[in-house]
Amino acid sequence: MGWIFEGIERPEDERRYGDRELVQRSLKRLTPYRRPILISSATTIALTVISLLSPLLFGFLIETLDVSDLSSVSIAIILFAGTCYLVLSVVSWVGDYIINVQVAKVVPFFMVTLRGDIFDALQKQDMKFFDQHRSGRLNSRVSSDAADYGGAVSIVLTVVGQLLIIVAVFFVLALINLQLAVLTAMVIPGLVIISFLFRKIARSTSMSYRKAHASVNAAIAESVNGIQVSKSFGVEAESLDEFKEVNQKHFRAGFKRSISMMLFFPFVEILSATATVIILLVGGEMALSGTSIITAAYLFIFISYLNNFFFPITQLISFYAQIQAGFAAFERILQVIDTEPSVQDLGNIEKNKIEGEIEFQHVDFAYVPESPVLTDFSLKINPGEKLAIVGHTGAGKTSIIALLTRFYEFQKGKILVDGTHIRDYELKGYRNHLGVVLQTPFLFNGTILENITYGRKNASDEDLKQALLISRVEEILEYLKDGLDTSVGEGGSLLSTGQRQLISFARALLADPKILILDEATSSVDAYTESLIQESLEELMKGRTSIIIAHRLSTVKNADRIIVIDHGKIIEEGTHNDLLSLKGEYATLYNTYFKHQEVNWNPNVSASPATAEIAYNP
């Protein structure tokens, strides 16, 4: 059976959980639902007793009947037995209904809490975590993994009843005939061995299947998000081939899981059938011997109870497979819940107002240890200063912002805001002082109003109106019949890129941050729209510490100070004209990226402070 394990090895750094820990943590999660579980268990015990009465009832009827003289049989006895059986059936139905109601009180609420815990754990993770995990796989944790584990929990709630039936039936079997009961019990070691061997296969194949299922979800999510790129390059067929490969792996994993789940049921059936035949032969010989060891009626009762004994065992084997699958899903869930974010919210300093002074002190940072991005990086930004950061792609510009916003954790040095280490601030309160507008705007599915007020839902109408005016979103609304109530679609897909960017501007403005961060925020806006909002941005940045990463000249030229970053180090610093005078890296960047954006740009005139001054003062 080695082919079942083929290709399902787990990564060495992946945390593993033992059965004991999984059971303990499952019981802890079930603690709030003690009352319905106790009611369900008590009802199960009552049903177990009732299930033992039916064979005794018919055994009593057979023992009472005299087959040699049927005329002496009282119809009253038959009616009594039939009535008792009917009553027992009705009581069993009522008991089953009570159990189902109690389980219904547990599982849905259990699932709500579980999915909430997973989502909360995801919200607490830093960006490093999301860099390492594909979104489709994380979606599987919240959806299908949670569903599999919830299914296993609902099964566990019924396992107690099955175990009680097995114990109670065996006790009755021993009372009827101890010798036959011992013969029956000899099957149990074989079932235990089968279950033990089955455990590893069931857990491994289930874990492999869950990973393959997550890969399918990830592939679909990535394909949908990148559908425009796929179509623009005409690679739909290639994308389909890639998905077919992922889907085929999912099929193979599912096939192995199904085979492993069903593989041992024939062994269980064979063992139970063998035990029944042996009991029938031995018990029949005892009954036919004429001794008082066991009568035909009691042999009938014994055989009837055998079905009640082996059926729950078969059910437990079936449940065991599903429980192992649920535990495999629970392991994957715990790998999310137990992952500690590298950015820890351990600070307790809360400030309602900050001045906006920022200082990087000898900061080292790397996304991966062997590839440093910032090395001994130091920078001081004064309150209310407008700082522009320029540099080639990969120089470390966005990383500076990522550290300031605490999206990632730096490895060495300090970052101070108003003289206080940013790790000492309460994280949520600290981020409330920051306003970030990214290069690629992201809007949540909903209305324009819901997206603008995302970070400040209690904003006044006056503040909202001011944000709409400054960001020029007010002009967009003139062309939308539903105005602020216009649906933006998933990710803002129903709006243009420029419209999405302006809405993200309004969202940042409404939050009224003391530190404003623009990460190439105007790169998605056309030149006309940029010119409309430039004056408003200048007004907005007054009194705020502003950090600007830009490829647009208009955004850079009005900065109080410009720093040039290369390989994580500041290589030039000064005003626009000062840096042009140096004829260094900034002058090269200017000639490459910025010069052609001048209003009076002449391709035949090289960059110099003088020509730049003319351009800025037409």
Determine the pLDDT at residue 496.
84
Let me know: does 128 contact 367? Beta carbons within 8 Å: yes
Last residue of a domain, one of 337, 370, 402: 337
pLDDT reading at 81 higher than 70: yes
Looking at the fold, whether 143 and 292 belong to one and the same domain comes out as: yes
Determine the pLDDT at residue 617.
32
pLDDT reading at 72 higher than 70: no
pLDDT reading at 357 higher than 70: yes
- Per-residue tokens: 267: 């062994």
Selected residue with higher pLDDT from 444 and 188: 444
Numbers of helices and strands, H then E, in the chain: 24, 10
Determine the pLDDT at residue 3.
41
Looking at the fold, whether 330 and 360 belong to one and the same domain comes out as: no
Let me know: does 441 contact 501? Beta carbons within 8 Å: yes
CA–chain centroid gap for 17, Å, is 18
Confidence of residue 609 (pLDDT cuts 50, 70, 90): very low
Looking at the fold, whether 248 and 108 belong to one and the same domain comes out as: yes
Determine the pLDDT at residue 48.
77
DSSP 3-state of 44: helix
Helix (H) or strand (E) holding 359: strand 358-368
Looking at the fold, whether 328 and 394 belong to one and the same domain comes out as: no
In a domain, 441, yes or no: no
Looking at the fold, whether 286 and 420 belong to one and the same domain comes out as: no
DSSP 3-state of 563: strand
In a domain, 582, yes or no: yes
In a domain, 500, yes or no: no
Determine the pLDDT at residue 230.
65
Q: Work out how many domains the chain is built from and give that number.
A: 2
pLDDT reading at 310 higher than 90: no
In angstroms, what CA-CA distances link 553 with 165, 556, 562? 80, 5, 12
Q: How many CB atoms lie within 10 A of CB 208?
A: 26
In a domain, 479, yes or no: no
Determine the pLDDT at residue 251.
84
Determine the pLDDT at residue 598.
55
Q: Which residues of 407-436 are buried (b: 16+ CB within 10 A; e: fewer)?
A: bbbbeebebebbebebbebebeebbbbbbb
> 225-239, 259-273, 292-306, 319-333 — which is least confidently predicted?
225-239
Determine the pLDDT at residue 409.
92
Determine the pLDDT at residue 15.
54
Compute φ and ψ for 372, nearest 5 degrees: -65, 140
Confidence of residue 6 (pLDDT cuts 50, 70, 90): very low
For the stretch 463-520, pLDDT in tens is 999 888 888 888 888 888 889 999 988 788 888 887 888 888 888 888 888 999 988 7
Looking at the fold, whether 333 and 379 belong to one and the same domain comes out as: no
Q: What number is the average pLDDT over the span 342-351?
A: 87
Confidence of residue 167 (pLDDT cuts 50, 70, 90): confident
Looking at the fold, whether 268 and 407 belong to one and the same domain comes out as: no
Say if residue 569 is exposed, middle or buried (CB neighbours under 10 Å; 0-12, 13-18, 19+).
middle
* 152: CATH: 1.20.1560.10
> 66-70, 109-113, 151-155, 553-557 — which is least confidently predicted?
66-70
Looking at the fold, whether 203 and 282 belong to one and the same domain comes out as: yes
Looking at the fold, whether 189 and 159 belong to one and the same domain comes out as: yes
In a domain, 452, yes or no: no
Q: What number is the average pLDDT over the span 606-614?
A: 42
CA–chain centroid gap for 379, Å, is 38
DSSP string, 216-280: HHHHHHHHHHTHHHHHHHT-HHHHHHHHHHHHHHHHHHHHHHHHHHHTTHHHHHHHHHHHHHHHH
Determine the pLDDT at residue 400.
93
Domain membership of residue 85 as a residue range: 22-337
Q: What number is the average pLDDT over the span 311-328?
A: 75
In a domain, 203, yes or no: yes
Looking at the fold, whether 145 and 294 belong to one and the same domain comes out as: yes
**Mean pLDDT, the chain, integer:** 79
Selected residue with higher pLDDT from 280 and 80: 280
pLDDT reading at 66 higher than 70: no
Q: What number is the average pLDDT over the span 5-11?
A: 44
Determine the pLDDT at residue 604.
56
For the stretch 202-250, pLDDT in tens is 767 777 877 787 777 777 777 766 665 565 556 667 777 888 888 888 8
Determine the pLDDT at residue 275.
82
Give the whole-angstrom CA distance, residue 470 versus residue 589. Answer: 30
pLDDT reading at 537 higher than 80: no
Looking at the fold, whether 273 and 421 belong to one and the same domain comes out as: no
Let me know: does 317 contact 191? Beta carbons within 8 Å: yes
Nearest to 490 by CA among 454, 445, 446, 452: 445
Q: Using N-to-C axis directions, what is the helix angle for 296-337 and 265-288, rounded to 10°?
A: 160
DSSP 3-state of 494: coil
- Per-residue tokens: 549: 């990463």
Say if residue 384 is exposed, middle or buried (CB neighbours under 10 Å; 0-12, 13-18, 19+).
middle
Give the whole-angstrom CA distance, residue 605 versus residue 512. Answer: 42
Selected residue with higher pLDDT from 7 and 262: 262
Q: What number is the average pLDDT over the span 247-269?
A: 76
Determine the pLDDT at residue 610.
39
Confidence of residue 302 (pLDDT cuts 50, 70, 90): confident
Question: HEC states along 282-294?
Answer: HHHHHHHCCCCCC
pLDDT reading at 112 higher than 80: yes
pLDDT reading at 8 higher than 50: no
* 423: CATH: 3.40.50.300
Q: Which residue has the tokens 């998000």?
A: 225
Selected residue with higher pLDDT from 354 and 526: 354
Phi-psi region of 172 (alpha: psi -120 to 50; beta: other; left: phi over 0): alpha
Determine the pLDDT at residue 607.
47
Q: What is the pTM of this model?
A: 0.71
pLDDT reading at 256 higher than 50: yes
pLDDT reading at 78 higher than 90: no
Q: What number is the average pLDDT over the span 29-57?
A: 82
- Could you tell me what percent of the chain has a pLDDT over 70? 82
In a domain, 470, yes or no: no
Looking at the fold, whether 242 and 358 belong to one and the same domain comes out as: no
Determine the pLDDT at residue 284.
83
Determine the pLDDT at residue 420.
93
Strongest mean pLDDT among 56-60, 318-322, 439-443: 439-443
Give the whole-angstrom CA distance, residue 484 versus residue 478. Answer: 10
In a domain, 539, yes or no: no
pLDDT reading at 382 higher than 60: yes
For the stretch 397-450, pLDDT in tens is 889 999 999 999 999 999 999 999 999 999 888 988 998 888 778 888 889 999
As a residue count, the chain comes to 618
